[in-house]
């Protein structure tokens, strides 16, 4: 294929993170959230580089101080550029491989359909490129509003996404579903786009990002959130999504191998809002999978199930209760960069 969107399990050169700061909604819980970030960074640098975006130089020095005693601190880079928030999965660059060379795609980000201020975040990818973070890797700015958490790739020409998100009237209101699909195929070199219409989670500001619901484990294997609690308000919606998944076919024409992830106990914030706790929001890195856990009775089962999906990788649980208080989790705050970008 002339160009393609690598799968997340393809070899990576680094993971991008955007550090939380006091000028964001993280302020009341900043210490707990920073501890979560530190745990994530320490896990990743065992395997590969981490590039951390810091809002200002003061934060840059603070972040570096957290890791000053680490033997592999050489795997950490900190760069300064202003940010609105930390969800770099949705505003960071998406990487394609074109003629065996990496290229970065800079899509537009408007705060998940103009829900939040996002002008600084929308500029981050270009600013990092101008700083030389990605060395000589070229970047291309595109007009389409698209968040990285809204698409999954099998690395072989199939994309998976959700209609509820992509067809949100506040994202690309002038485009039809066919036009969006055509753009995705063009930009990512894909042959197929698979659409889901069910699976929306309470507390999900993203309008149904696929990375909270269904993930590729291989080109023929999908893991997804299951809901085995009939009393939960999500039960019927998740069952309908499961029916859709059973009807999908891989590129070979065969049904996908499907693995259901556990459904954690309902989590709420102090205001009583349901939080989108999901084990699907994991991050695949070189040699490991970082799994968000929630001090929940289903955490152990989630570790076991995910290990069966990725038998050759270490499963590293990370307590992400602090993250879901702002309605996102582990995959949402990270963006992998494939080999060749750094």
Report how far residue 234's alpha carbon sits from residue 184's, in angstroms, rounded to the nearest whole number: 29
- Which CATH number belongs to the domain containing residue 129 in this structure? 3.75.10.10
Kindly list the distances between the CA atom of residue 21 and the CA atoms of 18, 58, 59, 231, 314, in Å, as whole numbers in the listed order: 9, 10, 8, 38, 30
* Burial annotation 280-308 (CB, 10 A radius, 16+ → b, else e): bbbbbbbebbbbbbbebebbeebbebbee
> Could you tell me how far CA 262 lies from the centroid of its own chain?
19
Give the pLDDT confidence of 236-279 residue by residue, as tens digits.
999 999 999 999 999 999 999 999 999 999 999 999 999 999 99
User: Which range marks the domain in which residue 120 is found?
Assistant: 3-338
What domain count does the chain have?
Answer: 1
Q: What are phi and psi of 87, to 5 degrees?
A: -85, 70
Please indicate, yes or no, whether the overall pTM of this predicted structure exceeds 0.85: yes
Query: What confidence score (pLDDT) does residue 2 get?
Result: 80
Q: What are phi and psi of 120, to 5 degrees?
A: -70, -45
Give the pLDDT confidence of 35-93 residue by residue, as tens digits.
999 999 999 999 999 999 999 999 999 999 999 999 999 999 999 999 999 999 999 99
- Up-side HSE of residue 90: CA atoms within 13 Å toward CB? 34
Query: Please, are residues 201 and 278 in contact by the beta-carbon 8 Å criterion?
Result: yes
């Amino acid at each position: 294929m002339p160009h393609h969107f690598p799968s997340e399990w393809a070899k990576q050169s680094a993971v991008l993170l955007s550090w939380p700061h006091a000028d964001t909604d993280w302020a009341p819980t900043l210490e707990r959230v920073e501890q979560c970030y530190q745990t994530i960074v320490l896990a990743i640098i065992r395997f590969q580089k981490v590039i951390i975006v810091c809002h200002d130089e003061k934060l840059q020095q603070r972040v570096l101080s957290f890791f000053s005693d680490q033997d592999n601190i050489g795997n950490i880079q900190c760069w300064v550029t202003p940010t609105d928030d930390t969800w770099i999965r949705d505003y960071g660059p998406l990487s394609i491989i074109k003629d065996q060379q990496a290229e970065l795609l800079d899509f537009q980000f408007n705060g998940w359909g103009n829900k939040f201020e996002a002008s600084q975040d929308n500029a981050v990818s270009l600013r990092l490129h101008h700083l030389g973070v990605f060395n000589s890797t070229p970047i291309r700015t595109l007009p389409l509003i698209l968040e990285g958490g809204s698409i999954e790739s099998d690395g072989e020409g199939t994309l998976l996404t959700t209609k509820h998100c992509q067809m949100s009237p506040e994202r690309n209101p002038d485009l039809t579903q066919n036009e969006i699909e055509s753009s995705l195929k063009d930009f990512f070199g894909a042959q197929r786009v698979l659409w889901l219409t069910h699976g929306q989670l309470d507390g999900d500001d993203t309008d149904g990002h696929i990375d909270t619901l269904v993930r590729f484990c291989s080109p023929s294997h999908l893991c997804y959130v299951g809901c085995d609690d009939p009393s939960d308000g999500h039960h019927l919606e998740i069952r309908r999504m499961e029916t859709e998944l059973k009807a999908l076919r891989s590129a070979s024409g065969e049904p996908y191998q499907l693995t259901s992830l556990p459904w954690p106990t309902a989590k709420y914030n102090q205001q009583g809002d349901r939080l989108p706790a999901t084990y699907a929001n994991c991050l695949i890195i070189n040699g490991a999978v970082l799994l968000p856990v929630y001090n929940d009775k289903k955490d152990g089962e989630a570790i076991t199930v995910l290990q069966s999906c990725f038998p050759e990788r270490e499963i590293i649980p990370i307590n992400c209760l602090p993250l879901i208080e702002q309605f996102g989790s582990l995959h949402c705050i990270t963006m992998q960069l494939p080999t060749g970008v750094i």
